[in-house]
Amino acid sequence: MSSRKIVIAGASDAGFKIALAAHAAGHDVTLVDEHPQALKDMSFDAPWFYGAGLPSALMNDNSIAQSVLEASPQLMECIEAGIDVRVSTVLWGAFRNGPNCLHVGRPKVGLVTREGNEILEHDALIIATGVRDFVPSFKGWELPGVLGGKAGLALLDLYQVFEGKRVVVLGSDELALRVVRSARERGVEVAGIVEPGESVVAGPEAAAWLAAQDIPVHLGQVIAEAIGKTAVTGVKLVSLDNRPSEEIACDTVAVAIATLPNIELPAAMGCEMHYVADAASWIPRTTAQGETSLEGVFWLSDAGGGNGDLHTAILDRIGGAERDSRVTAAPSRKVSATGYITSWIDALHKTGGDDVVLCQCETVSRAEFCGLAPPQYLGKSLRHPQTPLNHGDDATAPRINQDFMKRMTRVSMGHCQGKRCRDEAIFALSLRFGIGLESIRPASYRFPLRPIDLTLIADDDETDDIRLNWQMWPYETRQG
């Protein structure tokens, strides 16, 4: 088997494992991961939702790097094995020849760090980008102290800079329980768990453990508001059956409802996607060899990507085995993320009202979004009310196009590239217009996968060919 250049995007558990396997098989491996992110990038809340209250200890790059190495034996193992590991590196784009694009040459990924950028050529790309936080809107969700479950775990365990003393956790599935355990291990008090359902989602054993630890579980309730003037000082809850609302004092609200796969890379590359209800996401269709519709591009999901047999199949395929075009089903989960997220959003939107800001970057409320209101800076309204529903007699056509909603309302068009609000936006449309999630065309993902300073990425090695042949569009009228 000949050695191939393999780029692995994402030092998730699956990413580490296949990096080691590929290296052991003699391939030339580069493993890229965006963490630890620059403080500015963390503030965009992608992939992990840190919110507006980033601890100042994060500014100490050296101690953060040390903490990460201590907390991640797999990272240490990869480095010691001699794998080219690039941390704090954003893979911002991937480019390859394909229809209407014949001049890229060998497949390329664009990498960027705080110092500069590099275009890296490769034979195969393995996407193991893991998951990101799902954080729905509620009143006060922009306050410092509101953060996502993954971000909370990163601050607690990975960077060890968590500043909160008393946390309320939203959600009661595995992720929420992990946050509760980590918080308590670090001496952070858990003031309560909030769950719209009638029981703890993680199961009776988890419920019993919570009871034994004296952690209050607020069933049949959701958050009405994160209270506080400049930072969170408490939460106000609201019950789904109109019981009086409760207030709990806390300095942190950990939104640990669900995570969603980081699909922006395969989606922006044009991999064929399908809606998987269990994951509450569109994910790439893959073959038994983990290969997407694009040759040489592989997808390892967070749910099933750690499987060693799959890694062997992928590496065989990269080594030259025939493409096995049988498409595999996505691994199923205990709890359907679609059902669970829907229950949260339905409850939050029914109890929270229409004036809650859905899109933080562009300050657009739920009502403005669903009513297609023009952005406020235009100071204009629509002459007649309009609907996002597509009409036609093609039964297979999407009924709502999220890109259209984006363009009209600017929801998901801001600094965070829609990472905070695009998923809630789809669920809200589905609930309000009675359209199945799979019938909504999700907003396109575009490169770059994270916002990047122009100076970091602007071409500094432009060839004469590009410079001299640059076309002055549209008034170039040179004749052949």
Partner 1 sequence: MQSYDIIVVGAGILGLSTAYRAQKAGAKVLVLDAGATAYEASSRATGYLSLRGETPAESPLAQEAEKLWDGLDDELGYPTEWTQKGRIWAALDEHEFADLQKLYRTFQKTDVPFEFLDGATMRKMIPCLSERCLGGIWTNRSGHANPQRTSQAFGWAFTDLGGEIREYTPVLEVLVEAGKVKGVRTPQGEIHCGNVALCAAAHNPLLLKPFGIHFPLAPVRLEALVTTPMPPLFEQAFIGNGLSIRQTKRGNIHMNGGPYEWINLEIGREAAKPTTQTVRNIMRRAIETMPVLKGAQFLRCWAGIVDIAPDQMTTIHRFDSPEGLVTAACSGHGFGMSPAVGVAASELLMNGATRMPIEQLSLDRFRDTPSDWRERRRWEAGQYNT
Residues that bind partner 1 (CB under 8 A): 93, 95, 98-104, 108, 110, 117, 119, 270, 374-375, 377-378, 380, 382-384, 386, 390-394, 396-398, 401, 403-404, 407-408, 410, 415, 417, 441, 444, 446-448, 451-455, 457-460, 462, 465-466, 469-475, 477, 479-480
Of the candidates 381, 444, 433, 432, the residue with the CA atom closest to the CA atom of residue 408: 381
Nearest distance in Å: CB 121, partner 1: 11
Q: Which is nearer to partner 1, 329 or 378 (CB)?
A: 378
Nearest distance in Å: CB 33, partner 1: 20
CA separation (Å) from 329 to 241, 277, 281, 290? 39, 12, 14, 11
101 DSSP β-pair partners:
98
Residue 14 · residue 305 · CB < 8 Å: yes
Residue 223 · residue 236 · CB < 8 Å: yes
> What is the C-alpha separation between 91 and 37, in angstroms, rounded?
12
Sign of torsion, CA 39 40 44 47?
Answer: negative
Angle between the N-to-C axes of helices 422-433 and 402-409, in degrees from 0 to 180, rounded to the nearest 10? 110
**Residue that the structure tokens 């829609």 belong to:** 418
| Continuous segment of H or E residues that includes residue 465 | helix 464-469
Nearest distance in Å: CB 52, partner 1: 17
**DSSP string for 264-324:** HHHHHHT--EEEEGGGTEEEE--BTTSB-SSTTEEE--TTTTT-HHHHHHHHHHHTTPPP-
Q: Which is nearer to partner 1, 38 or 65 (CB)?
A: 38
> What is the C-alpha separation between 416 and 397, in angstroms, rounded?
29
Nearest distance in Å: CB 359, partner 1: 13
Residue 208: burial class (beta carbons within 10 Å; 0-12, 13-18, 19+): exposed
Q: Which is nearer to partner 1, 62 or 100 (CB)?
A: 100
Q: Which is nearer to partner 1, 100 or 242 (CB)?
A: 100
98 DSSP β-pair partners:
101
Nearest distance in Å: CB 119, partner 1: 6
Q: Which is nearer to partner 1, 333 or 415 (CB)?
A: 415
- The DSSP symbol for 77 reads H
Q: Which is nearer to partner 1, 218 or 410 (CB)?
A: 410
* φ, ψ (nearest 5 deg) of residue 264: -60, -35
* φ, ψ (nearest 5 deg) of residue 282: -80, 130
Nearest distance in Å: CB 453, partner 1: 6
Q: Which is nearer to partner 1, 309 or 461 (CB)?
A: 461
Q: Which is nearer to partner 1, 38 or 431 (CB)?
A: 38
Nearest distance in Å: CB 474, partner 1: 5
Nearest distance in Å: CB 475, partner 1: 4
Determine the residue type at 123: D
Nearest distance in Å: CB 402, partner 1: 11
Determine the residue type at 35: H
Nearest distance in Å: CB 390, partner 1: 5
Nearest distance in Å: CB 412, partner 1: 11
Q: Max alpha carbon distance in the chain (Å)?
A: 82
CA separation (Å) from 410 to 262, 328, 477? 22, 36, 37
Q: Which is nearer to partner 1, 229 or 377 (CB)?
A: 377
Q: Which is nearer to partner 1, 43 or 63 (CB)?
A: 43
Nearest distance in Å: CB 117, partner 1: 8
- The DSSP symbol for 154 reads I
Q: Which is nearer to partner 1, 434 or 480 (CB)?
A: 480
> What is the C-alpha separation between 127 and 10, in angstroms, rounded?
7
User: Which residues, at least 6 apart from 314, have a Cβ–Cβ distance to it below 8 Å?
Assistant: 18, 126, 289, 290, 291, 298, 300
Q: Which is nearer to partner 1, 17 or 108 (CB)?
A: 108
167 DSSP β-pair partners:
190, 252
| Continuous segment of H or E residues that includes residue 369 | helix 366-370
